[in-house]
Structure 1
Amino acid sequence: MTFVPVPRSSVSDHVFAQLRDAIVSGRYRPDDPLPGERELAAAFAVNRHAVREALRRLQQLGLLRVSQGGATRVLDWRAHAGLDLALSLAQSGDVLPVDNLVRDMMEMRACIGVDAARLCAERATAEVRQTVVRAVAEFTALVPDLHRMGEANIALWRHVVDGSGNTAYLLAFNSLVAGAVAVGEVPPERRAAELLDVTGHRRLGAAIAEGRGADAAAEAHTLLTADLTTPTTGPERQCRA
């Protein structure tokens, strides 16, 4: 395999990125041995310290298994890597080489949003519920400007997820909306059916304000799955805690 010699600045980052992409893209298969440090250093035209640092980071991501005195072998990233791999890719402007990744992210968002809406209706204070209602009103007032609606929609769902009281949901939400998960951009036009469902958003706000958890989950499911390309069969596709 041929690697591109890298600039002397941040050489470890460049080695790390090229090896990471080679593993994630499948150029190196699971259980394949990597070349030794000396060979990699020569291929990248860098010193062995830069290679060693890159390998350490790849091991931390779950992409390599380093054996003392043995070969460094590639791990299956689908089985061993976590969201930190997606974070690493996003920071370099790359995306995971997976078909339908935007769909997968939207399904993850729907699963979190449905349960967060239920929990928000059941757990949130009266003040938070009214904040959600106000956020719905601000969002719906922006029709038909999809770009401004998209921004207001993020603000609305932040209130909902925060009101759920679930820290794991909140952290996942933050990663999604900050572009920290390497899925590429999802333009508002890709979510037009969801964003333009003004009535559905008002029903969601009312259900949360009135503490009707099951109804809030159902309304969230309808909204968040409206633009998914994979057919849904109704509330049974909701992700439940």
Structure 2
Amino acid sequence: MPIAPVVRAAVSEVVFAALTDEILSGRLAPEEPLPSERELAEAFEVNRHAIREALKRLQQSGLVSISQGGRTRVLDWRGHAGLDTLVALATSGAVPSAKVVADLVEMRAALGIDAAVLCARRAKPEQLAVVVEAAHAYPETPGATADLTAVDLVFWTAVVDGADNLAYRLGLNTLAEGIAAIGHEHLAGLLEEYADRGRHLALAAAIEARDEDAARRLAGDLLLRHGA
């Protein structure tokens, strides 16, 4: 079979994933120093550049602290890591995957409800038109899961863009990536929610009418019913 050479970036990804799992699982405890770059390179049987790249990513993820001329120490992820660590937490076993899924659903609902209200309040007329158009893209006869998930992401992206909240926009990106990594089918009722064209049309109409109370209620009906 044809074998492609392992590129440097792929090697650093493997090292990053392995060290992330060690940290999130608790096998590497907070404040514990990591082995030196040389020792890690020998243990992983890779070059030091790959180790350096992996450590840089760990630092960016809030999992380690790199001191100039000193040792790299493990940080407590609860106080330093970001949302992008959620999926790694589920796979490491540090937090039960069911807990991660439930928390993702809860955060998604809170963000979506508030974004719907803010969109009704702040969106420009052209943004409202995009929200309505996105709602009409939900199929009358639901098709494949991939089609539904793509349509749903377009709709909520339009709503969050209309809300004009950059933190919500970046949060939506992280939630979408996390849910995709875990699998939409593992979030109870999510696919049924995607398929509910009528509720999405009603929500879009409330947002277009700038009815904040109705937007809050309809978004809650849509996003909370499967998480109960």
TM-score over 0.5 (shorter chain): yes
Q: Which residue of 2 aligns with 1:142?
A: 140
1:123-142 matches, within 5 Å, as 123-139=122-138, 141-142=139-140
> 1 or 2, which has the higher helix percentage?
2
Give yes or no for contact 1:102–1:183 (8 Å, CA) kept in 2: no
SS in 1 for 2:182: coil
Q: For each residue in 1:162-210, what CA deviation from the matched residue of structure 2 results, as whole angstroms up to 9, or x when unmatched? A: 2112222222223333x26785221387414423444432331221121
**Distance (whole Å) between structure 1 residues aligned to residue 84 and residue 166 of structure 2:** 17
Answer yes or no: is the 8 Å Cα contact 1:61–1:81 preserved in 2. Answer: yes
1:239 is aligned to none
Q: Relative to 1, partners in 2 of residues 1:69 and 1:115: Cα closer, same or farther, differing over 3 Å?
A: same
Letter in 2 for 1:15: V
Whole-Å Cα distance in 1 between the matches of residues 226 and 173 of structure 2? 21
Amino acid at match of 1:142: E
Match of 2:36?
36
Give per-residue Cα distances to partners, 1:21-42, cap 9 Å, x unaligned. Answer: 2112222122223223343233
Q: How does 1:218-229 map to 2 (within 5 A)?
A: 218-228=217-227
Q: Distance in 2 between matches of 1:204 and 1:186?
A: 22
- Structure 1 spans left out of the alignment, 5+ residues: 1-6, 232-241
Asked whether 1:201 is paired with 2:200, we answer: yes
Q: Is the 8 A contact 1:194 1:224 kept in 2?
A: yes
Q: Which residue identity lines up with residue 72 of structure 2 in the other structure?
A: T
Q: 1:96 to 1:154 in 2, by over 3 A?
A: farther
- TM-score, normalised to structure 1, is 0.73
TM-score, normalising length from structure 2? Answer: 0.77
Cα pair 2:86 2:100 within 8 Å, conserved? no
In structure 2, C-alpha distance between the alignment counterparts of 1:152 and 1:164, rounded to whole Å: 19
Aligned pairs for 1:75-224 within 5 A: 75-85=75-85, 95=91, 97=93, 98-99=95-96, 100-139=99-138, 141-145=139-143, 147=145, 148-177=147-176, 179=177, 183-187=181-185, 190-224=189-223
Q: 1:117 to 1:24 in 2, by over 3 A?
A: same
Unaligned 5+ residue runs, structure 2?
none
CA contact (8 A) 1:15 1:51 kept: yes
1:136–1:205: 8 Å Cα contact kept in structure 2? yes
Q: Residue 22 of structure 2 corresponds to which residue in structure 1?
A: 22
Write out the 4+ residue segments of structure 1 that deviate beyond 6 Å after TM superposition. Answer: none
Q: Distance in 1 between matches of 2:54 and 2:27?
A: 17
Per the TM alignment, residue 155 of structure 1 is displaced from its structure 2 partner at its CA by 2.0
Q: CA deviation at 1:71?
A: 4.3
Aligned positions, number: 216
Contact 1:204-1:220 within 8 A present in 2 as well: yes
- Percent of matched pairs sharing the same residue: 45
CA contact (8 A) 2:134 2:154 kept: yes
CA distance in 1, matches of 2:78, 2:180: 15
Note closer, same or farther for the CA distance 1:159–1:13 as it changes in structure 2 (3 Å cut): closer
